[in-house]
């Protein structure tokens, strides 16, 4: 049983990174979690202090925060369960081992329980502690709340397990139907982008008109208080943990176990079913007629297929490229609104180019960060590196096509974004023009450096992203900060921007030349996988 | 990549929170009184003469349910209303409970009021032995009591949008019920007719009640009387009198109110028959509310349906004109909003119009233990229009963060627009009572007069940024009225008209390097003597090592400059007001203010002084208006009769933060400095030495400041006291009603500013401005430079203040409604156009 649990941990958390990268990832994750918790607690405590005097408001805001985390943890639990129960490799391995079904299910549930409790302790327990402090609760409250994650497990995981099979089926269906998957993905991405823009717009309008205080208006607080009754199951849990309602305990526990039971039944049934169909031999694919095409055309087709037909890329690259104009317009518009309102307008008055430079920074960051989704040129080949190295096509041609496809796609998206920004009068013509030129230069340098990092991948030495990260983050920030300082010192904007462009070109030109020179050797040194 | 993108998408949220401005309000709390008195008595009651006293019950209600201050306990009084000398009844207080003891037959008025006496309500009581006849309108009288005891009805009603001869329902009650069989007869004056039958009444409570309708055929004094065949014993009561107002229109609901005001081209004479309350009061009492409710206590006011009246400000808006021309993409419309536009006479009948639903911020927020009213995006009353802004102007206080905004005209509750208008016995306020005057910042002016020969009599006006404002209105008479609870001033007056400095006239300026003769424009050129003078002034460069050896030397030139910017308009009054028998109760600054335009050199030419121009150009985004101000025409005010000032406050509670909208203190907070409005606009500290104080038993010192001359430009307005009988003004008033010159405390800002030392060679501005800007300003900047910069904009003509004597007269007292009632005279009902 213990071995099974360890195996599940390895399946879920294991990676191909070396020790150094694992430590780095762990540190980054830790910092990310810490930062998240600090922000979460800061917001929560600020709100609670603001509304502390209103009867029932503290509990209601606690409900809201816990409800949001509950939704996130339920979705997270759902996808964890999906990976855990329906991992083909895992199913295949276990099918040949003398392990009972019960043991497999129990080990998976143990893993889910552990992860859920850990996440709940990280994200929810601090909220309860903060509330307890501000509400002057007795020490027993803080002890009791340690068991909050356990209490939430059955209800949340029950929901997750009930949905795990339908979600798995949906994803499987989508993967088989490219166009539907693309459409579905785009709908989701557009939906999320529109939701984001709506929330951002409302927030900025409130803030830029000094109306954030309205978030704490009695009317708004009354709405939050009335929301509490809909926030199932958090409202019941708070009755138990905060209001010490013993009456709520048994009904909630019974309902939770009921939901968990139903979820578990669905998951066990689905697991057994999927295990059986996984072992059935796959159907043979239809043979397609061979159409001879030119080498370059075939390579371009292959690269396009890699990027567009892979569901990972749809979400992390292609889809984002499509919504980039929309997202960028909303983000920059909101940034401009922020910079010309409240206390920041003083700084805008003192630094005439502040708005333009912040706009340029965001254009650059969006361009390169979205492009990061498709810059694993060699990694994406997996087992086909051998073919790359042996095929009678010049390496330069192969690499050129590999880099240029995502580069051109990013450039088109950048161009459309800049046109959208200028057409919607979000940025002036000069900012749009320079935004395009600078971002294009940065993107080019970034792609070349990324290629070099990819070509440098060796056995036991995973890709190092240090240099490309410096290019994608540090360079835009250095540019923006320097430009802001120069603007403060009243250096004309055009001179500043041209200087910044020159800086980017100078920083990028040396590695680009070196990489071009060494790319042949690096390509030859690539290790093929059998 | 996904994490990075999420972080990128979160950045706008984080950055935007940096823009939040913390607005520091001064929480000078004031006591709140009860809003009205609630009871179960009818307007006319009849008590049988008996030895057993009748218990008197009522309760004081605050419409916001806040705790009321001391002096709001209820008390009862009774007085005869017939011509009997001996009292017909008296009030007994037994263990804190009040009873009415009947003594003999007759009519009395029973009054319940708070101990302060500023809230009261009365009913008529008939004390009878044999019988009584009550005749009363079925429309209940105001819960706030009437000041003018005359009951007014309009000649017309509005029915289906058409004017028709008015009618109203009455009730006749005969006590005992046996009177109904004694052949009761009803008679009335010729101008009315009564449709009432004694055959189909109902018996209840020992009496016989019947209902009828009074139709008004012609205007005039009107009487209704009921008599019986009984002649051998005295029957009390039996009379009802009212005045039918010629062309007057009775207003019973909001639609009718709008019909007669905002929706009428030339207006109608309004005869109010109901109050229009805040939504809170409506919830408490069921009285109609002001405005169109659209659910959840929200209101819909707009110009399309006439629920609000909008007009272009008549105050100086040259700055806005220039701004709108220079910034067509960010215009600020120079429009003022009014809740009601009154164009004809207005008879209030003691009813109240409370503009709370329109004027008060519709949202609130909680800071610590204070609930603060907060403007929501849909609120229309958002503070005065800007007269001049350093930074970006906005039509809404607090909507954008300006450096300094001097205010122009504010939005208005009741806008009296026209000549020869009388408003009588109306209780009007812009919002429910507040316990912090800073909460009145955006509620606007309560009553604004914009016309000649306007009379406001028997009025109760309260709760506004300014309560009464009259600009460029001749012969305004404010008579027997009470003005209370103003953020700034209870009455502010001045003129819209002004004269810009003469650009071609030559002046002599005696500079240290010899006299300079030239026009104001020539003198104010950059690199000129004037520029150096102003820079030396700002920098405190006065002494043996500088051009200006003495303060007097630089003061002379600065005064010459201010004189050249001004025009002597003495005696050219553009407005006049008679204040007769009025009561002024609680202001944030002073009871009465004479305003003149700010008129500093910077408003004439924003290119000078170059030091400040460089600094301000940054915040004005290179918009540098010119010749936007001038000298205001003067007005005159005469105070007469028993006018009283119940306006005591400690100097600490004198709050000038409502005079200008400044964010210098906010800007200073960014670099960790704390400034207050009193440092930036140091009126309080300057008048401290000259103020006349009353010291109470605890040793606390109070000022009572009835009059202030406000504005940095020349202020030639005059104040006289012809016929003033309740004089407690500090200073001698001569036989012509003129106050001795030395009684007017002059606060010479220039003297004060010239005494300010150089504090810190780098100081405040040096920390926030780029080095090149500080260098190009050419002066050393410290916090005193900043303070003096305000005078370059406002001008530095002396502010003047007139204090009451420090004799404690009316200290801790409140105005009494009873006094207003005793002094009330009815309106002359037939007014020829």
Residue A216: pLDDT over 70: no
**Cα–Cα distance measured from residue B11 to residue B15, given in angstroms and rounded to the nearest whole number:** 6
Beta-carbon-side half-sphere exposure of residue B584 (alpha carbons within 13 Å):
33
pLDDT band at B593 (very low <50, low <70, confident <90, very high): very high
Q: Which structure tokens are listed for B256?
A: 């009718």
A466 and A446 Cβ atoms separated by less than 8 Å = no
**Cα–Cα distance measured from residue B86 to residue B103, given in angstroms and rounded to the nearest whole number:** 9
Predicted local distance difference test score (pLDDT) of residue A58: 80
**Cα–Cα distance measured from residue B97 to residue A46, given in angstroms and rounded to the nearest whole number:** 50
Cβ count near B150 (within 10 Å): 19
pLDDT band at B67 (very low <50, low <70, confident <90, very high): confident
Q: Which structure tokens are listed for B629?
A: 């101000």
Q: Do A341 and B401 touch (CB under 8 A)?
A: yes
Q: What is the pLDDT of residues A138-171, one digit of tens each?
A: 888 899 899 999 889 999 999 999 998 999 888 8
On average, the pLDDT of chain B sits at 87
3-state SS, one letter per residue, for B554-592: HHHHHHHHHHHHCCCCCCCCCEEEEEECCEEEEECCEEE
Residue B374: pLDDT over 70: yes
SS3 B114: strand
- With 0-12 / 13-18 / 19 or more C-beta atoms within 10 angstroms meaning exposed / middle / buried, residue A68 is middle
Predicted local distance difference test score (pLDDT) of residue B101: 95
Q: Do B366 and A53 touch (CB under 8 A)?
A: yes
Domain ranges of chain A: 2-279, 297-525
Distances (CA, A) of B33 to B113, B114, B278, B696: 11, 9, 16, 23
SS3 B368: coil
SS3 B18: coil
Length of chain B: 833
Using the CB atoms, write b or e for A253-265: b if 16+ within 10 Å.
eebbeebbeebbe
Residue A404: pLDDT over 50: yes
- With 0-12 / 13-18 / 19 or more C-beta atoms within 10 angstroms meaning exposed / middle / buried, residue B678 is middle
**Cα–Cα distance measured from residue B428 to residue B414, given in angstroms and rounded to the nearest whole number:** 8
Q: Which structure tokens are listed for B491?
A: 């009455």
Distances (CA, A) of B770 to A356, A491, A495, B362, B666: 19, 12, 19, 41, 18
Q: Do A210 and B398 touch (CB under 8 A)?
A: yes
Q: What is the pLDDT of residues A176-197, one digit of tens each?
A: 887 788 888 888 888 888 888 8
Q: Looking at residue A145, what DSSP letter applies?
A: G
Q: What is the pLDDT of residues B632-667, one digit of tens each?
A: 999 999 999 999 999 999 988 888 888 888 777 766
**Cα–Cα distance measured from residue B554 to residue B536, given in angstroms and rounded to the nearest whole number:** 9
Nearest CA in chain A to B614: A350
Residue B831: pLDDT over 50: no
DSSP string spanning A386-448?
A: HHHHHSSS-HHHHHHHHHHHHHHHHHHHHHHHHHHHHHTTSS-HHHHHHHHHHHHHHHHHHHH
Which residues, 6+ apart, have CB-to-CB distance to B390 below 8 Å? B402, B403, B404, B405, B616, B619, B620, B793
Q: Where are the alpha helices (DSSP H) in B295-340?
A: 318-326
Tokens 């095409």 locate to A293
Residue B529: pLDDT over 90: no
Q: Which residues of A touch B771 (CB under 8 A)?
A: 489
Q: Which structure tokens are listed for B772?
A: 């090149």
B598 and B794 Cβ atoms separated by less than 8 Å = yes
Q: Do A335 and B12 touch (CB under 8 A)?
A: yes
Distances (CA, A) of B817 to A228, B116, B121, B479, B592: 49, 10, 9, 14, 21
Q: What is the pLDDT of residues A104-118, one digit of tens each?
A: 888 888 889 998 999
Predicted local distance difference test score (pLDDT) of residue B832: 36
DSSP string spanning A318-370?
A: IHHHHHHHHHHHHHHHHHHHHHTSTTHHHHHHHSTTHHHHHHHHHHHHHHHHH
Residue A287: pLDDT over 70: no
Q: Which residue has the higher pLDDT, B672 or B443?
A: B443
Tokens 């006319």 locate to B44
Q: Do B401 and A219 touch (CB under 8 A)?
A: no
Q: Do B770 and A345 touch (CB under 8 A)?
A: no
Tokens 């990092």 locate to A453
Predicted local distance difference test score (pLDDT) of residue A13: 59
3-state SS, one letter per residue, for B588-629: CCEEEEEECCCCCHHHHECCCCHHHHHHHHHHCCCCCCECCC
Predicted local distance difference test score (pLDDT) of residue A391: 75
Length of chain A: 530
Q: Do A214 and B367 touch (CB under 8 A)?
A: no
pLDDT band at A122 (very low <50, low <70, confident <90, very high): confident
Predicted local distance difference test score (pLDDT) of residue B778: 62
Tokens 């004198």 locate to B654
Q: Please give, rounded to a whole number of angstroms, the shortest distance from the CA of B609 to a CA of chain A.
A: 20
Q: Which residues of A touch B400 (CB under 8 A)?
A: 341, 345
Give kind and range of the element (H or E) at residue B269.
strand B269-272
Q: Do B377 and A209 touch (CB under 8 A)?
A: yes
Residue B401: pLDDT over 60: no
Give mean pLDDT, residues B377-397: 83
Q: Which structure tokens are listed for B19?
A: 């823009």
Predicted local distance difference test score (pLDDT) of residue A284: 57
**Cα–Cα distance measured from residue B95 to residue A511, given in angstroms and rounded to the nearest whole number:** 98
* Share above pLDDT 70 across residues of chain B, in percent, rounded to a whole number: 90
- Max mean pLDDT among A401-405, A510-514, B732-736 falls in B732-736
Q: Please give, rounded to a whole number of angstroms, the shortest distance from the CA of A222 to a CA of chain B.
A: 12
Sheet holding B701-704, edge to edge: B648-649, B701-704, B693-695
Q: Looking at residue B277, what DSSP letter applies?
A: B
Residue B305: pLDDT over 80: yes
Residue A15: pLDDT over 90: no
Q: Which residue has the higher pLDDT, B507 or B123?
A: B123
Q: Which of B754, B770, B779, B405 is nearest to B610 (CA)?
A: B779
Predicted local distance difference test score (pLDDT) of residue B463: 96
pLDDT band at A367 (very low <50, low <70, confident <90, very high): very high
Nearest by CB: A342 against B9, B374, B401 = B401
A427 and A435 Cβ atoms separated by less than 8 Å = yes
On average, the pLDDT of chain A sits at 81
Which residues, 6+ apart, have CB-to-CB distance to B498 below 8 Å? B316, B597, B629, B630, B631, B632, B633
Beta strands B489-494 and B514-519, pairing class: unpaired
Distances (CA, A) of B445 to A288, A361, A440, B404, B633: 83, 48, 58, 21, 21
Lowest-pLDDT range of A393-402, A452-461, B173-182: A452-461
Q: Please give, rounded to a whole number of angstroms, the shortest distance from the CA of B366 to a CA of chain A.
A: 6
pLDDT band at B355 (very low <50, low <70, confident <90, very high): very high
Q: Which residue has the higher pLDDT, B277 or A492?
A: B277
**Cα–Cα distance measured from residue B790 to residue B780, given in angstroms and rounded to the nearest whole number:** 16
Q: Which residues of A touch B20 (CB under 8 A)?
A: 207, 210, 212, 342-343
Using the CB atoms, write b or e for B22-40: b if 16+ within 10 Å.
ebeebebebebbbbbbebe
Q: Looking at residue B652, what DSSP letter applies?
A: G
Beta-carbon-side half-sphere exposure of residue B300 (alpha carbons within 13 Å):
8
Q: Looking at residue B142, what DSSP letter applies?
A: P
**Cα–Cα distance measured from residue B581 to residue B583, given in angstroms and rounded to the nearest whole number:** 7
SS3 B27: coil
Q: What is the pLDDT of residues B673-719, one digit of tens each?
A: 667 777 777 778 778 888 899 999 899 999 999 999 988 788 999 99
Q: Which of B337, B370, B371 is nearest to B355 (CA)?
A: B337
pLDDT band at B468 (very low <50, low <70, confident <90, very high): very high
B694 and B702 Cβ atoms separated by less than 8 Å = yes
Which residues, 6+ apart, have CB-to-CB distance to B87 below 8 Å? B78, B79, B80, B103, B108
B721 and B729 Cβ atoms separated by less than 8 Å = yes
Give mean pLDDT, residues A305-327: 80
Q: Where are the alpha helices (DSSP H) in B309-435?
A: 318-326, 356-359
**Cα–Cα distance measured from residue B423 to residue B453, given in angstroms and rounded to the nearest whole number:** 11
Rounded to two decimals, the pTM is 0.76
Distances (CA, A) of B274 to B253, B345, B429: 7, 17, 15
pLDDT band at B833 (very low <50, low <70, confident <90, very high): very low
Nearest by CB: A346 against B2, B17, B667 = B667
Q: Which structure tokens are listed for B84?
A: 């009997």
Residue B753: pLDDT over 90: no
Lowest-pLDDT range of A390-399, B30-39, B413-422, B651-660: A390-399
Q: What is the pLDDT of residues A41-74, one digit of tens each?
A: 777 777 776 666 666 778 888 888 888 889 888 9
A339 and A358 Cβ atoms separated by less than 8 Å = yes
Predicted local distance difference test score (pLDDT) of residue B829: 41
**Cα–Cα distance measured from residue B547 to residue B554, given in angstroms and rounded to the nearest whole number:** 9
Q: Which residue has the higher pLDDT, B714 or B402?
A: B714
Nearest by CB: A338 against B15, B23, B670 = B15
pLDDT band at B34 (very low <50, low <70, confident <90, very high): very high
A and B: number of Cβ contacts within 8 A: 132
Q: Do A346 and B17 touch (CB under 8 A)?
A: no
């Amino acid at each position: 049983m213990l071995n099974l649990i360890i195996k599940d941990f390895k399946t879920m958390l294991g990676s191909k990174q070396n020790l150094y990268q694992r430590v780095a990832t762990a540190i980054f994750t830790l910092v990310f979690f810490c930062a998240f918790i600090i922000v979460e607690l800061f917001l929560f405590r600020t709100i609670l202090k603001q509304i502390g005097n209103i009867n029932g408001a503290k509990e209601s805001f606690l409900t809201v925060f816990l409800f949001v985390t509950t939704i996130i943890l339920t979705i997270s639990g759902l996808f964890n369960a999906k990976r855990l129960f329906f991992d083909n490799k895992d199913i295949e391995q276990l099918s040949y081992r003398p392990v009972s079904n019960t043991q497999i299910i129990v080990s998976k549930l143990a893993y889910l329980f552990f992860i859920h409790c850990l996440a709940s302790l990280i994200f929810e327990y601090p909220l309860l502690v903060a509330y307890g402090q501000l509400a002057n609760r007795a020490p027993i409250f803080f002890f009791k709340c340690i068991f909050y994650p356990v209490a939430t497990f059955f209800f949340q995981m029950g929901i997750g397990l009930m949905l795990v099979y339908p979600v798995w089926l949906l994803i499987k269906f989508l993967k088989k139907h490219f166009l539907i998957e693309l459409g579905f993905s785009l709908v989701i991405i557009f939906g999320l982008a529109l939701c984001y823009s709506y929330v951002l717009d409302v927030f900025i309008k409130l803030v830029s008109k000094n109306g954030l205080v309205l978030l704490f208006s009695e009317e708004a607080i009354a709405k939050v208080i009335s929301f509490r009754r809909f926030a199932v199951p958090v409202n019941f849990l708070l009755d138990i943990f905060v209001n010490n309602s013993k009456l709520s305990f048994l009904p909630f526990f019974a309902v939770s176990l009921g939901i968990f039971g139903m979820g578990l039944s669905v998951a066990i049934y689905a697991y057994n079913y999927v295990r059986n169909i996984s072992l059935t031999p796959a159907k043979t694919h239809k043979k397609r007629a061979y159409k001879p095409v030119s080498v370059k055309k075939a390579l371009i087709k292959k690269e396009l297929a890699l990027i567009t037909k892979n569901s990972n890329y749809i979400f992390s690259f292609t889809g984002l490229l499509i919504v980039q104009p929309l997202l960028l317009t909303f983000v920059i518009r909101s940034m401009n609104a922020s910079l010309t309102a409240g206390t920041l307008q003083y700084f805008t008055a003192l630094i005439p180019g502040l708005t333009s430079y912040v706009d340029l920074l965001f254009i650059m960051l969006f361009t390169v960060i979205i492009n990061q989704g498709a810059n694993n040129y060699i990694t994406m080949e997996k087992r086909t590196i051998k073919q790359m190295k042996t095929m009678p096509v010049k390496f330069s041609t192969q690499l050129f096509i590999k880099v240029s496809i995502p580069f051109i796609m990013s450039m088109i998206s950048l161009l459309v974004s800049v046109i959208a920004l200028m057409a919607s009068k979000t940025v002036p013509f000069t900012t749009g023009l320079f935004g395009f030129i600078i971002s294009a230069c940065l993107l080019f340098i970034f792609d070349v450096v990324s290629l070099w990092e990819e070509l440098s991948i060796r056995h036991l030495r995973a890709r190092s992203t240090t240099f490309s990260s410096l290019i994608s983050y540090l360079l835009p920030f250095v540019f923006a900060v320097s430009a802001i300082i120069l603007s403060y010192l009243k250096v004309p904007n055009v001179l500043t921007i041209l200087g910044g462009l020159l800086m980017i070109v100078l920083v990028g030109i040396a590695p680009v030349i070196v990489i071009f020179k060494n790319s042949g050797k690096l390509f030859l040194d690539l290790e093929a996988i059998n | 990549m996904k994490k990075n993108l999420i972080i990128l998408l979160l950045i706008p949220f984080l950055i935007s929170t940096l823009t939040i401005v913390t607005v520091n309000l001064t929480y000078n709390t004031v006591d709140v009184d009860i809003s009205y008195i609630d009871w179960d008595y009818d307007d006319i009651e009849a008590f049988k003469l008996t030895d057993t006293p009748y218990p008197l019950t009522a309760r004081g209600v605050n419409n916001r349910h806040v705790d009321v201050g001391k002096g709001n306990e209820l008390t009862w009084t009774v007085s005869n209303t017939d011509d009997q000398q001996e009292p017909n009844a008296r009030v007994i207080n037994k263990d804190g409970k009040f009873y009415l003891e009947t003594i003999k037959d007759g009519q009395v008025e029973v009054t319940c009021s708070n101990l302060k006496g500023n809230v009261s309500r009365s009913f008529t009581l008939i004390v009878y032995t044999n019988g009584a006849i009550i005749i009363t309108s079925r429309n209940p009288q105001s819960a706030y009591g009437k000041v003018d005891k005359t009951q007014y009805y309009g000649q017309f009603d509005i029915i289906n949008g058409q004017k028709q001869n008015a009618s109203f329902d009455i009730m006749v009650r005969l006590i005992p019920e046996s009177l109904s069989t004694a052949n009761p007869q009803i008679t009335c004056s010729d101008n009315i007719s009564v449709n009432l039958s004694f055959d189909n009444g109902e018996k209840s409570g020992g009496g016989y009640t019947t209902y009828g309708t009074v139709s008004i055929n012609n205007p005039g004094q009107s009487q209704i009387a009921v008599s019986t065949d009984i002649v051998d014993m005295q029957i009390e009561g039996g009379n009802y009198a009212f005045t039918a107002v010629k062309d007057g229109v009775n207003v019973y609901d909001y639609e009718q109110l709008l019909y007669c005001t905002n929706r009428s081209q030339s207006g109608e004479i309004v005869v109010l028959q109901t109050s229009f309350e805040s939504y809170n009061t409506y919830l408490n009492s069921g009285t109609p509310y002001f405005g169109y409710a659209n659910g959840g206590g929200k209101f819909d006011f707009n110009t399309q349906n006439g629920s609000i009246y909008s007009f272009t400000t008549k105050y100086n808006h040259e700055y806005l004109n220039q701004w709108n021309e220079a910034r067509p993409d960010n215009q600020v419309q120079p429009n003022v909003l009014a809740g009601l536009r009154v164009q004809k006479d207005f008879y209030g009948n003691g009813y109240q119009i409370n503009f709370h639903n329109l004027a008060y911020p519709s949202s609130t927020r909680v800071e610590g233990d204070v609930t603060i009213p907060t403007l929501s995006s849909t609120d229309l009353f958002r503070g005065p229009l800007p007269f001049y802004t350093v930074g970006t102007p906005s039509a809404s206080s607090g909507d954008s963060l300006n450096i300094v905004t001097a205010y122009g005209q504010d939005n208005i509750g009741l806008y009296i627009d026209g000549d020869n208008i009388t408003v009588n016995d109306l209780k009007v306020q812009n919002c429910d009572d507040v316990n912090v005057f800073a909460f009145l910042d955006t509620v606007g002016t309560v009553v604004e007069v914009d016309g000649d020969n306007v009379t406001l009599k028997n009025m109760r006006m309260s709760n506004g940024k300014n309560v009464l404002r009259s600009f460029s209105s001749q012969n305004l008479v404010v008579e027997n009225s009470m003005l209370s609870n103003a953020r700034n001033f209870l009455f502010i007056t001045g003129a819209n008209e002004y004269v810009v400095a003469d650009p071609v006239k030559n002046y002599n300026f005696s500079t240290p390097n010899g006299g300079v003769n030239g026009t104001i424009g020539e003198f104010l050129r950059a690199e000129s003597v004037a520029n150096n003078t102003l820079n030396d002034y700002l920098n405190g460069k006065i002494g043996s090592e500088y051009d200006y050896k003495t303060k007097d030397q630089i003061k002379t030139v600065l005064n010459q400059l201010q004189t050249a910017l001004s025009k002597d308009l003495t005696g050219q009054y553009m407005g006049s007001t008679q204040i007769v028998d009025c009561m002024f109760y609680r202001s944030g600054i002073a009871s009465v203010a004479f305003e003149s335009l700010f008129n500093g050199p910077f408003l004439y030419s924003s290119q000078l002084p170059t030091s400040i121009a460089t600094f301000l150009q940054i915040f004005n985004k290179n918009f540098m208006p010119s010749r936007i101000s001038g000298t205001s025409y003067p007005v005159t005010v005469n105070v007469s009769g028993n006018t009283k000032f119940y306006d005591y406050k400690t100097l600490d509670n004198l709050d000038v933060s409502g005079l200008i909208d400044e964010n210098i203190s906010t800007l200073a907070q960014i670099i960790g400095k704390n400034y207050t409005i009193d440092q930036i606009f140091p009126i309080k500290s300057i008048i401290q030495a000259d103020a006349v104080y009353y010291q109470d038993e605890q040793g606390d010192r109070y000022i009572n400041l009835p009059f202030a001359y406000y504005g940095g430009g020349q202020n030639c307005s005059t104040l006289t006291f012809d016929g003033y009988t309740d004089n407690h003004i500090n200073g001698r008033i001569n036989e012509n009603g003129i106050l001795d010159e030395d009684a007017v405390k002059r606060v010479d800002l220039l003297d004060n500013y010239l005494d300010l030392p150089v504090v810190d060679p780098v100081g405040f501005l040096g920390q926030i401005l780029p080095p090149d800007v500080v260098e190009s300003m050419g002066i050393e900047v410290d916090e005193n430079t900043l303070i003096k910069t305000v005078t370059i904009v406002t001008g530095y003509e002396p502010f003047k203040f007139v204090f009451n004597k420090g004799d404690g007269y009316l200290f801790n007292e409140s105005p009494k409604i009873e006094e207003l009632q005793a002094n009330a005279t009815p309106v002359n009902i037939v007014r020829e156009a």
